[in-house]
């Protein structure tokens, strides 16, 4: 079983709604990630938090707003999304090791914007 | 710039057949890491293996084996005696060494859809 848990598993929202995706990891990792994945495509990096600070923003539109309340939690706040934002949103975490970093992913949140 | 090529897009085999998934990468860095992930229809990306660029030993884990060859910049994945549960999309990925510390950045290939028929 994955040690990165995401809620909700499925979300349907209107273009004027405000919703949030939540992610939690219990591996003591200090980096957490949000990826977006469209059908039949590889995951695309959106944001990275390292030691609870935003370290990478891949030029993501402001209608996506990440938040890292503590080292175990990561949220993605959604507002005024477009239908093309419908996708699988994957949360992940990693920790630096002498042998290299491995990114572990959650089960994802399937988002549909109507 | 880094690049990962998975030339095969879809593979279909009958159960118990062996199947090899190809991965070719490009990087100018001398230190890097290669990964394979499995993504079943449920959506979760499952980590399978990480290989350090300095370690060219092949690895076997049950029915899975990996062949890393720096000379050809390839990191191929073989499933022996495939099973229906192996049906999934498989991604090869390459780490970006410019990102150090706790965080990391991966360059993914486009993925290979494997279908194993009973």
Contact between chains at A107 and B110 (C-beta distance less than 8 A): no
List, for residues A29-75, the tens digit of each pLDDT value: 989 999 999 999 999 999 999 999 999 999 999 999 999 999 999 99
- Tell me the residues of chain A between 11 and 70 that have a Cβ less than 8 Å away from chain B: 29-31, 33, 40-43, 45, 48-51, 55-56
Residues of A with Cβ-Cβ distance to B95 under 8 angstroms: 100-101
Tell me whether A103 touches chain B (CB under 8 Å).
yes
Contact between chains at A33 and B103 (C-beta distance less than 8 A): yes
Q: Return the pLDDT at A48.
A: 93
B45 closest CB neighbour out of A30, A50, A105:
A105
Q: Residue B99 — pLDDT band, cuts 50, 70, 90?
A: low
B104 closest CB neighbour out of A43, A49, A101:
A101
Regarding predicted confidence, which is higher, B101 or B38? B38
**pLDDT score of A2 more than 90:** no
Q: Return the pLDDT at A24.
A: 97
Tell me whether A97 touches chain B (CB under 8 Å).
no
Q: Is the N-terminal amide bond of A13 cis, ω within 30° of 0?
A: no
Cα separation, B44 vs A106, in Å, equals: 6
Q: State the SS3 of A5-73.
A: EEECCEEEECCCCEEEEEEEECCCCCEEEEEEECCCCCCEEEEEEECCEEEEECCCCCCEEEEEEECCE
Separation in Å, CA A49 to CA A94, B55, B79: 10, 29, 35
- Mean pLDDT, to the nearest integer, of B80-85? 97
**pLDDT mean across residues, chain B:** 92
Report residue B30 as tokens. Answer: 């001398």
Contact between chains at A100 and B35 (C-beta distance less than 8 A): no
Number of Cβ within 10 Å of residue A89's Cβ equals 24
Residues of A with Cβ-Cβ distance to B109 under 8 angstroms: 42
Size of interface A-B (CB pairs under 8 A): 76
Q: Return the pLDDT at A98.
A: 64
- R_g of chain A computed on alpha carbons: 14
Cβ B23 vs Cβ B75: under 8 Å: yes
Cα separation, A112 vs A84, in Å, equals: 9
Contact between chains at B104 and A94 (C-beta distance less than 8 A): yes
Residue of chain B nearest A34, judged by CA positions: B105
C-alpha torsion angle, residues A94, A97, A102, A104 (rounded to 10): -40
């Amino acid at each position: 079983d994955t040690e990165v848990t995401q809620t909700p598993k499925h979300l349907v929202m209107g273009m004027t709604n405000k919703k949030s995706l939540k992610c939690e990891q219990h591996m003591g990792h200090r980096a957490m990630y949000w990826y977006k994945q469209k059908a039949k495509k590889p995951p695309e990096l959106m944001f990275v938090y390292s030691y609870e600070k935003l370290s990478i923003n891949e030029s993501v539109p402001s209608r996506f707003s990440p938040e890292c309340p503590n080292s175990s939690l990561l949220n993605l706040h959604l507002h005024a999304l477009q239908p093309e934002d419908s996708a699988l949103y994957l949360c992940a975490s990693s920790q630096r090791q002498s042998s290299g970093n491995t990114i572990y992913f959650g089960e994802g949140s399937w988002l549909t914007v109507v | 710039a880094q690049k990962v090529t998975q030339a095969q897009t879809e593979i279909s085999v009958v159960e118990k057949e062996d199947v090899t998934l190809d991965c070719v990468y490009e990087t100018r860095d001398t230190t890097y890491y290669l990964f394979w992930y499995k993504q079943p229809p449920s959506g979760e990306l499952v980590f399978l293996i990480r290989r350090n660029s300095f370690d060219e030993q092949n690895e076997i884990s049950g029915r899975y084996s990996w062949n890393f060859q720096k000379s050809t910049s390839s990191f191929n994945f073989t499933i022996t005696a495939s099973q229906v549960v192996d049906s999934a999309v498989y991604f090869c990925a390459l780490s970006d060494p410019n990102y150090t510390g706790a965080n990391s950045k991966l360059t993914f290939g486009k993925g290979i859809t494997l279908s194993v028929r009973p």
